[in-house]
Amino acid sequence: MDDFEQKLKSLKLSKPSEGLKNRIFSQQSKKQSLKWIFLKRVSLGWAAVFAISIGLFGFFLAQFLYTQRTPSFLREPSIVKIQIIESSTTKNVFDFTKTSVDFLPGELEVKTKSKGEV
């Protein structure tokens, strides 16, 4: 190496910023900790089963949250007792010659039916 090369070589070079090492190496350690999740190999069958299960669970959860009760097609027919404590009318509600929506105090038995039976 001659004098000219030595003189060129003696010039002071730009340096990378202080934080670059941290930026490279600390980010990598965070990535490494999550890496196994993405690198884990599973068979296509298991992935499909998992996806379908998640889908069904989501569907039922949405239905439940929407109606706040069991989905209609899963509901068993049952007999429900309704107690009318206070009548909304003084009319004779046993007069079936007219349509009425009024009820006397007392109890009514109502049988619920599933959607298919109606």
Partner 1 sequence: MHLLRNELGKIYDDFSQQLFVCAFAVTGNKELAEDAMHNAFCHLFNLNFVPQNLKAYVFKSVRNSAIDLIRQTGRTVVFYENYIFDSGNSHNPREIANTNQFQYKVSQALLKLSEDEREVIVQYLYADLTFREIAELLSISIGTVTSWYHRGLERLRKLLEE
DSSP state for residue 76 in the 8-state scheme? P
Min CB(54)–partner 1 separation in Å: 29
| Three-class DSSP category at 70 | coil
The phi and psi torsions of 107 (rounded to 5 degrees) equal -125, 145
- Residue type for position 43: S
SS3 33: helix
Report the interface residues with partner 1, using CB under 8 A. Answer: 4-5, 7-9, 11-17, 20-21, 23-25, 27-28, 31-32
Smallest distance from partner 1 to CB 26, Å: 12
Q: Which is nearer to partner 1, 27 or 100 (CB)?
A: 27
Cβ closest to partner 1, residue 16 vs residue 45: 16
